Amino acid sequence: MKAVQCLEYGDPKNLVVNDLPDPAPGPRDAIIAVEAVGLGYVDGLNVRGAYQVKRPLPFIPGSELAGTVIAVGSEVPQDLVGKRVMALAERGALCEKAVVFAAQCTPLPEKFSSVAAAAALVNYSTAIYGFETCGHLQPGETVLVLGASGGVGMAAIDVAKGMGATVVAAASSDGRLAACVKAGADLVVNYSAPDWRKTLEGVLDGRKLTVIYDPVGGQWSETAFRCLAPGGRHLVVGFAGGEIPKIPLNLPLLKRASIVGVDWGGHVRAAAGAAAVIFQRMIDLVNEGRINPQPAATFALEETPALLTRMLNRENIGKPVVVIGKAP
């Protein structure tokens, strides 16, 4: 099979596409003929060796995939074979045949394409977990999404809208803001402006900002928090801006507001079966027409090195997906 391999930590341009032996399933494994792989910023960090947990070399990057099960291990029901599924591939996804734990496979309905599922897997799961479990988002509330033009932000826009919220998208350029509007954002604010807090207050026009979805961190977090209404919730998703903010604790005290960590990966690791619950919730929302996951663009396997380079340089808008073979 063909597979992208990271042979040494460093620049993604050093990734290679090699021919590797076809994998065999362990007792609890499934082998998936991969059709689509969603990529995120963390995949670039893994290749650089800059993520908090280093993957042993050599390794196949990527973890979000969708495809068709072609073989299973001895302890897995045979009726899983032939089903189209989405799954997290801890042993790598950017390959023609991936090994995954069968328990992590979620069958896909016909209307949920493999490309859409690969685009949705992590970012939509994080948004659903963040808004429903951590943020207790209610219909009619107003949400500010920081870094809204990236894959994480686009998923947050779609999920928040699907839950009945008004969404304010914050991004760094007019082109990115236009993409956010196309994705469903009701209002936008350019947070590269010197006094974007005042701009945001004007955009809100008297609305109470009750939830912040923050995958960015850095200098933007405190400014956003200062705009939060009393009793609001600031959801901490990540620090793509590179700096972990230090918000003065008198602010949540005076606002009677909450700062809530949204670590979907930690939640899944700590609670057996948690991933399957979120995946099924995502499928239900798709079937109800409340969310519509789509990739920003699709790429071939051989384009992975250049794609990850662009992601690390923050040149992408939305969630890119690598298509392998003919993905439905």
**Structure confidence by residue, pLDDT tens digits, 38-89:** 998 889 999 999 887 889 999 999 999 999 999 999 999 999 999 999 999 9
Residues 109 and 8 grouped into a single domain: yes
CA angle 94, 100, 101 (to 5 degrees): 160
Residue 322 near residue 35 (C-beta atoms within 8 A):
no
Q: Is residue 272 part of a domain?
A: no
Mean of all residue pLDDT scores within the chain: 94
- Point out the least confidently predicted range of 98-102, 110-114, 165-169: 110-114
Report the share of the chain in percent with pLDDT over 90.
83
Residue 327 near residue 35 (C-beta atoms within 8 A):
yes
Question: Torsion-angle region of residue 68: left (phi > 0), alpha (psi -120 to 50) or beta?
Answer: beta
Banded model confidence at residue 140, pLDDT cuts 50, 70, 90? very high
**In whole angstroms, what is the distance from residue 311 CA to residue 24 CA?**
32
Q: Cis ω on the peptide bond leading into residue 58 (within 30° of 0)?
A: yes
Residue 25 near residue 73 (C-beta atoms within 8 A):
yes
Residues 197 and 250 grouped into a single domain: yes
Residues 227 and 146 grouped into a single domain: yes
Residues 245 and 192 grouped into a single domain: yes
| Burial class, 260, CB count within 10 angstroms (exposed 0-12 / middle 13-18 / buried 19+) | middle
Q: Is residue 269 part of a domain?
A: no
Residue owning tokens 């699907």 = 162
**In whole angstroms, what is the distance from residue 107 CA to residue 104 CA?**
10
**In whole angstroms, what is the distance from residue 203 CA to residue 232 CA?**
18
Q: Is residue 309 part of a domain?
A: yes
Banded model confidence at residue 317, pLDDT cuts 50, 70, 90? confident
Cβ neighbours of 281 (radius 10 Å): 16
pTM equals: 0.91
Instruction: Give me the pLDDT at residue 85, please.
Output: 96
Residues 100 and 139 grouped into a single domain: no
Domain containing residue 83: CATH number:
3.90.180.10
Write the DSSP symbol of residue 45: H
* Tokens at 16, concatenated: 């290679």
Q: Is residue 308 part of a domain?
A: yes
For residue 327, pLDDT beyond 60:
no
Instruction: Give me the pLDDT at residue 52, please.
Output: 76
Instruction: Give me the pLDDT at residue 273, please.
Output: 80
What is the average per-residue pLDDT within 231-257?
93
Residues 6+ apart with CB under 8 A from 130: 156, 213, 235, 237, 262, 264
For residue 191, pLDDT beyond 90:
yes
Q: Is residue 279 part of a domain?
A: no
H/E run at residue 212: strand 209-214
**In whole angstroms, what is the distance from residue 311 CA to residue 313 CA?**
5
**Number of domains observed in the structure of the chain:** 2
Instruction: Give me the pLDDT at residue 97, please.
Output: 97
Banded model confidence at residue 316, pLDDT cuts 50, 70, 90? confident
Q: Residue 159 belongs to what domain range?
A: 135-261
Of 261, 282, 309, the residue at which a domain comes to its end is 261
For residue 269, pLDDT beyond 90:
no
Helical segments of the chain, H only: 41-48, 114-128, 151-162, 174-182, 196-204, 219-226, 250-255, 264-270, 274-287, 304-312
Residue 262 near residue 268 (C-beta atoms within 8 A):
no
